[in-house]
């Protein structure tokens, strides 16, 4: 079976190599500021995508692609913090999935389903 290069573990390794090439990680609070900034950019893209606050249309990239970019920027920033503190996100995420499965299995009814905007 081929190795999946998109696992969280592999992504953490890729980010670590890149950041070390750049000279090392920023202080934790600076990295957190980056996460917050990226989440704000996700908010801006969601507002545009859902039609609440339309942006000037950039014909070179779709709003959907811009949202994907901002989500990925946020993931990158979160991975930086995890790497700084040597947190194995693959292991941690499996524990979180188990927590949600046990805690929330009856919390979300089939009546509360939304579909992504087209």
Q: Could you give the number of structural domains in the chain?
A: 1
Decide if pLDDT at 7 tops 50: yes
- Does residue 45 sit within a domain? yes
Please tell me the predicted confidence (pLDDT) of residue 24: 98
| Residue for token pair 């600076």 | 30
- Does residue 41 sit within a domain? yes
Looking only at Cα atoms, what is the longest distance across the chain? 50
- Does residue 59 sit within a domain? yes
- Does residue 85 sit within a domain? yes
The DSSP symbol for 50 reads T
Does the model's pTM come out above 0.85?
no
Centroid of chain to Cα 52: 22
- Does residue 113 sit within a domain? no
Rounded distance, CA 46 to CA 53, Å?
9
CA distances from 57 to 52, 66, 74 (A): 14, 11, 23
Domain that holds residue 85: 23-103
Give the domain CATH number at 99: 1.10.287.1080
- Does residue 29 sit within a domain? yes
Percentage of the residues of the chain whose pLDDT score is greater than 70? 88
Name the burial class of residue 56, with classes exposed (0-12), middle (13-18) and buried (19+) by CB atoms within 10 angstroms of its CB: exposed
Cβ within 8 Å of residue 12, ≥6 positions away: 79, 82, 83, 88, 89
- 77 touches 35 (CB < 8 A): yes
Please tell me the predicted confidence (pLDDT) of residue 111: 57
Cβ within 8 Å of residue 108, ≥6 positions away: none
* Each residue's pLDDT tens digit, 50-103: 989 888 777 788 889 999 999 999 999 999 999 999 999 999 999 999 999 988
- Does residue 9 sit within a domain? no
- Does residue 115 sit within a domain? no
């Amino acid at each position: 079976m081929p190795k999946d290069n998109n696992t969280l573990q592999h992504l953490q390794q890729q980010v670590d190599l890149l950041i070390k090439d750049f000279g090392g990680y920023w202080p934790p609070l600076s990295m957190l500021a980056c996460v917050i900034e990226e989440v704000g950019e996700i908010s801006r893209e969601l507002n545009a995508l859902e039609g609440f606050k339309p942006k000037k249309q950039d014909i070179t990239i779709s709003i959907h692609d811009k949202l994907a970019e901002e989500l990925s920027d946020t993931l990158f920033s979160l991975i930086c913090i995890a790497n700084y503190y040597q947190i194995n996100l693959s292991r941690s995420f499996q524990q979180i999935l188990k927590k949600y499965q046990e805690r929330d299995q009856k919390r979300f009814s089939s009546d509360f389903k939304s579909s992504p905007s087209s």
